[in-house]
């Protein structure tokens, strides 16, 4: 039985997916769905309809199958303002591990993942901080477990994964936000200061990914997002932080390396690179007084809040990004384009 394809769909059948059809049918008034959904795919009314592809080829190239058509009616029954919030962006039922969950970006992401439906294992080296984050998630009616662990300790991370899986279920999501920063001119930076930042900001991310990846491979797949920095892309004017910049650049390329290594296991690995963000880390003396100037240097005219990182992370973790891996997403208000 033939399916009709529009002119814009013919050059690349693989670009047509069930998600796009569901959203368009529910949201755009000029998008019509044939009454016989078993026979036709919805097309813009103005498109020509003189090209066909048989059911078997259509299913093979687009992965569209009968359950997709069943979703049209349920989507159209939603209020229009809710129709774009499809299940593809939900993390419902997922089990997440978030490092650095005690403060700053990590805390905001832990709360955000819970809001998106995930059960969250909150990991931080400061017990009081991570317990407070988990308590906030629990108070909102979601599930969470606090775990005190140091990301530079492989055994502690393995134990954290085990504790989270025991409490919440098989691990499928990971966000690695733990990090530190300091400053010193490169020519006089002590070796210990260099090693401390590299150990936490790069090796700690690798060890976190390693513990998460082992679990996800065992569990049949998952998604990891590492928190890098726009400092992976630029050398920040006025900040003497060669160790931090180098570590964050390493995080970006680590993500690409793990993305190809673990693709065969169904594990996606991406990163986001925040711009200047109001967190405890940016309140250190050498950066605090400069934050106002950074806002003026940002095309969007402001610095970020930790909550600005939640949406990009939820997207990359979700099924909406199921064909995205090895990517670093700059979330910097446009700072690096100048």
Helix axes 204-219, 154-168, angle to 10 degrees: 40
Write down the domain spans for the chain: 2-85, 90-337
Q: Report the SS3 class of residue 44.
A: strand
Q: Using the predicted structure, report yes or no on whether residue 124 has a pLDDT greater than 50.
A: yes
Tell me: domain 90-337, CATH 3.40.50.720, correct? yes
Greater confidence, 44 or 308? 308
Record the pTM.
0.76
pLDDT of residue 37: 32
Q: How far apart are CA 305 and CA 301, in angstroms?
A: 13
Give the distance from CA 157 to its chain's centroid: 20
Mean pLDDT on 123-150: 98
Position 29 pLDDT exceeds 70: no
Is the distance from CB of 318 to CB of 118 less than 8 angstroms?
A: no
Distance CA 336, CA 43 (A): 39
Confidence of residue 72 (pLDDT cuts 50, 70, 90): very low
Mean pLDDT, the chain, integer: 82
pLDDT of res. 259:
98
Return the DSSP state at 303: P
Over residues 63-87, the mean pLDDT reads 49
Select the more confidently predicted residue: 189 or 83. Answer: 189
Highest mean pLDDT among 14-23, 44-53, 135-144: 135-144
- The set of catalytic residues is 244
């Amino acid at each position: 039985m033939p399916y009709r394809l529009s002119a814009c769909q013919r050059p690349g059948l693989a670009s047509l997916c069930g998600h796009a059809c569901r959203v368009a049918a529910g949201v755009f008034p000029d998008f019509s769905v044939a009454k016989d959904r078993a026979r036709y795919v919805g097309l813009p009314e103005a498109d020509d309809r003189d090209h066909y592809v048989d059911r078997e080829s259509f299913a093979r190239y687009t992965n569209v199958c009968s359950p997709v058509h069943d979703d049209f009616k349920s989507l159209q029954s939603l209020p229009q303002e809710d129709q774009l919030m499809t299940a593809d962006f939900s993390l419902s039922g997922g089990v997440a591990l978030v490092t650095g969950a005690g403060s700053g970006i990590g805390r905001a992401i832990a709360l955000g993942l819970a809001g998106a439906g995930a059960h969250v294992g909150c990991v931080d080296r400061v017990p009081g901080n991570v317990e407070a984050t988990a308590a906030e998630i629990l108070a909102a009616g979601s599930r969470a477990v606090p775990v005190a662990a140091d990301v530079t300790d492989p055994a502690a991370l393995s134990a954290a994964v085990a504790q989270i899986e025991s409490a919440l279920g098989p691990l499928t999501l990971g966000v690695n936000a733990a990090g530190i920063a300091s400053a010193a001119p490169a020519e006089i930076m002590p070796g210990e200061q260099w090693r401390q930042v590299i150990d936490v900001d790069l090796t700690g991310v690798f060890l976190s990914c390693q513990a998460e990846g082992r679990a996800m491979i065992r569990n049949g797949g998952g998604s990891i997002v590492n928190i890098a920095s726009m400092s992976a892309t630029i050398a920040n004017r006025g900040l003497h932080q060669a160790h931090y910049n180098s570590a964050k650049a390493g995080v970006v390329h680590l993500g690409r390396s793990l993305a190809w290594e673990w693709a065969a296991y169904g594990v996606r690995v991406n990163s986001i690179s925040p711009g200047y963000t109001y967190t405890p880390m940016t309140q250190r003396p050498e950066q605090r007084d400069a934050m106002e100037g950074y806002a003026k240097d940002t095309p969007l005219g402001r610095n970020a809040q930790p909550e600005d990182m939640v949406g990009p992370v939820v997207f990359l973790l979700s099924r909406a990004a199921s064909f995205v891996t090895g990517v670093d997403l700059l979330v910097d208000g446009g700072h690096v384009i100048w």
